[in-house]
Chains A and B, each alone.
Chain A
């Protein structure tokens, strides 16, 4: 079945540092890949996505590139802010029936200190 492996947390960085959160996946076919973010006390919200190989998703300064050859979708940001403190989830979902469930990694808690 499909699975997502995420970098273990928690991750603590200083403001303006470079961020990378690793994500690799196992899936049949050609899944879509997502990063969701969860702020304290809230539900998850979509941060960015990519639906085919070599696509780059981007939003709010975050980027991730769909790498089929390495089955990876690493999240990056060049200069983090305190407001980026949250839990980040990598996820995938297939495009055919029987493979339509959204599968999540375990999440990475990010804390940015001023």
Chain B
């Protein structure tokens, strides 16, 4: 059972480059989210989706785009990378809201130079 799969695990970008972080889940979960983890700041929500075709902004959406064309996939696009986007990115999915457990991917460590 794969769970939540993120690729790549590590990435180095130059300022101004664009890239897409991939996230896929095989649990038929409706809810998917992207977080960034920075020292001393916990996890901050970037974007989330409550189902295919539906996305919304989280706490720190600037500089990031998402789309949800299928239930399984929720890619995160960096439009023009900046050093402030150096972080560890986590994708998560859950069957529902409230008390449903969120399952996390292994993370993508991104460095922008």
Contact = CB atoms under 8 A, between A and B. Distances in A.
- Most A C-beta atoms less than 10 A away, residue of B35, B48, B50, B101: B101
Contacts of B45: 101-103
A44 B99 CA distance: 16
B104 A89 contact: no
B53 interface: no
Given A43-B90, A43-B106, A43-B107, A51 B99 contact: yes
B106 A107 contact: no
Interface residues of B, number: 25
A104 B106 contact: no
B105 interface: yes
A93 interface: yes
B33 A102 contact: yes
- Most A C-beta atoms less than 10 A away, residue of B35, B44, B58, B99: B99
Nearest to A30: B98
A89 B42 contact: yes
A43 B34 CA distance: 12
A95 B98 contact: yes
A70 to B, nearest CB: 20
Interface string A25-46: 0000000101010000011111
B67 to A, nearest CB: 19
B91 to A, nearest CB: 9
Interface string B38-81: 00111111001010000000100000000000000000000000
27 contacts: A6-B42, A32-B99, A36-B102, A42-B106, A43-B4, A43-B90, A43-B106, A44-B90, A46-B101, A46-B102, A93-B97, A93-B99, A95-B98, A95-B99, A97-B97, A100-B31, A100-B97, A101-B45, A101-B48, A102-B45, A102-B92, A102-B94, A104-B43, A104-B44, A105-B42, A106-B42, A107-B42
